[in-house]
Homo-oligomer: A and B are copies of this chain.
């Protein structure tokens, strides 16, 4: 029984968080520095961008997580600390500041940065903000919320989620904060996602859970097909729930994976719906594919198509673009067996059967596609595999935001 609860990253036992405005951003009303901290040392796992150009914080975080343990996460927004001189030195210094102010060894600190690429990140505002940041740490919904706000860039709302679940008889909690919302095509992007849990789980099994989960969560999400240089998804498990530690595959691990996926898939929907300039969430579910890989390729290709995204923005039931995107997806499909439905709260419109168009009401189609959450259901009718991918519509606002992001 997985149940949604309040509290974000502070929902699990023993996790505090906070966020402040330290001055990296000029806008004083927007927090720009976050800290998440566990009372005890945690199993820790991470997955990172596959971009060859990697943010300096990723190099430092990878090194700090090499032993499988961590206890704190420090994150700034407003500057990606990427493609600049001495980025690694600055990222290391951020970890040292956490040690100086909390006593947690720098080598147990996860560090991340998000914002503009290629501008020098000054340590001065971060150093000056540490006192207020550490003083504000609290295990409360407000703490998680302040941290979630501090990691936002072009996000229009905070991404927080938490669930409770039961593991070996013990009540456990898992929570997360994340940010998007441009340069998002995680493989793994300037996407950041931090999960906390009080479940007891070994570093190896936590890494396995995270590595598996991204394949059906973040890697199935795209705002603009641009895989960022700074994508980071880290999970911390402090074990304070008191469950028997998960150290191998089996029922308990499966329950943990389900709880983790509840968190990450919920965040994917939130991240997609808040994609830069987006007005609509697009969720594509492909069923009946030959293999899981085929289903994933097909679903991801549909939500990635600029043409389909623009059509959804215009509430135009241009299903030929779905077929087109399926056709170049790389998935092995029988094109004359494909069925496509557009679906939303307003109803369902079958638009394609067996690879060919069927008559439909343009009026109903317009109504269906004018909702905020659009579902595209693709039946391949050539196997048993299924996958879901998340994206958003392509709008004037996306162009506007990205025509003038840096200046």
Asked if A305 and B116 make an inter-chain contact with CB atoms under 8 angstroms apart, the answer reads no
Q: How many copies does the complex hold?
A: 2
Partner of A52, one of B52, B187, B321, B333: B333
Contact of A311 with B by CB under 8 A: yes
Q: Which of B183, B307, B407 contacts A224 (CB 8 A)?
A: B307
Interface residues of A in 342-362 (CB under 8 A from B): 352, 355-357, 362
Contact with B along A323-341 (1 / 0, CB 8 A): 1111110000101000000
Contact A407 B324 (CB under 8 A): no
Instruction: Tell whether, in the assembled complex, residue B323 and residue A403 are in contact, meaning their CB atoms are under 8 Å apart.
Output: no
Instruction: Specify the chain B residue showing the minimal Cβ separation from A318.
Output: B406
- Is A313 a contact of B403 with CB atoms below 8 Å? yes
Bound form: Cα–Cα A200–B315 in Å:
51
Q: Mark each residue of chain A from 46 to 68: 1 if its CB lies under 8 Å from any CB of chain B, else 0.
A: 00011111100000000000000
Q: Does A161 contact B (CB under 8 A)?
A: no
- Whether, in the assembled complex, A226 has its beta carbon less than 8 Å from a beta carbon of chain B, the answer is yes
Chain B residues, Cβ within 8 Å of A224:
306-307
Interface-located stretch among A77-85, A103-111, A281-289: A77-85
Q: Is A228 an interface residue (CB 8 A)?
A: yes
Q: Which residue of B lies closest to A351 (CB)?
A: B118
Instruction: Report whether B183 and A324 are in contact in the complex, using a CB–CB cutoff of 8 Å.
Output: yes
Min CB–CB distance A230 → chain B (angstroms) = 9
A9 is an interface residue with CB less than 8 A from chain B = no
Q: Beta-carbon contacts of A236-259 to B below 8 Å, as 1s and 0s?
A: 000000000000000000000000
Q: Does A165 contact B (CB under 8 A)?
A: no
Question: Which residues on B sit within 8 Å (CB–CB) of A314?
Answer: 402-404
Complex Cα distance, B316 from A116, in Å, reads 12
- Residue A129 interfacial (CB < 8 Å): no
Chain B residues positioned under 8 Å from A356 (CB to CB): 83-85, 118
Nearest residue, chain B, Cβ from A308: B226
A405 to B314, CA, bound (A): 9
Once bound together, how far apart are the Cα atoms of A313 and B399, in whole Å?
8
Query: Which of A20-28, A135-143, A263-271, A390-398 forms contacts with chain B?
Result: A390-398
Smallest Cβ distance from A85 to chain B, in angstroms? 5
Residue of B nearest to A82 (CB): B320
Instruction: Find out whether the CB atom of B405 lies under 8 angstroms from the CB atom of A318.
Output: yes
Partner of A357, one of B84, B305, B315, B321: B84
Query: Once the chains bind, are A399 and B407 in contact (CB under 8 Å)?
Result: no
C-alpha gap A123/B227 in the complex (Å): 45
A400: interface (CB < 8 Å): yes
A226/B321 contact (C-beta < 8 A), A52-B333, A311-B403, A407-B362 known: yes
A-B residue pairs, 8 tightest by C-beta: A314-B403, A117-B320, A53-B327, A310-B402, A51-B327, A227-B328, A118-B320, A118-B357
A: which residues have CB within 8 A of B? 49-54, 80, 82-85, 116-120, 182-183, 187, 224-229, 304-307, 310-311, 313-321, 323-328, 333, 335, 352, 355-357, 362, 394-396, 398-407
* Interchain Cβ contacts under 8 Å between A and B, 30 examples: A51-B324, A53-B324, A54-B327, A80-B320, A83-B356, A84-B357, A116-B320, A117-B318, A117-B323, A118-B319, A118-B320, A118-B323, A118-B352, A118-B356, A119-B357, A183-B307, A183-B321, A224-B306, A225-B306, A226-B321, A226-B324, A227-B324, A227-B327, A227-B328, A229-B323, A229-B327, A306-B398, A310-B402, A316-B407, A317-B406
Question: 7 other contacts beyond A51-B324, A311-B405, with CB at 8 A cut-off?
Answer: A52-B335, A53-B323, A117-B324, A229-B323, A313-B399, A314-B404, A320-B406
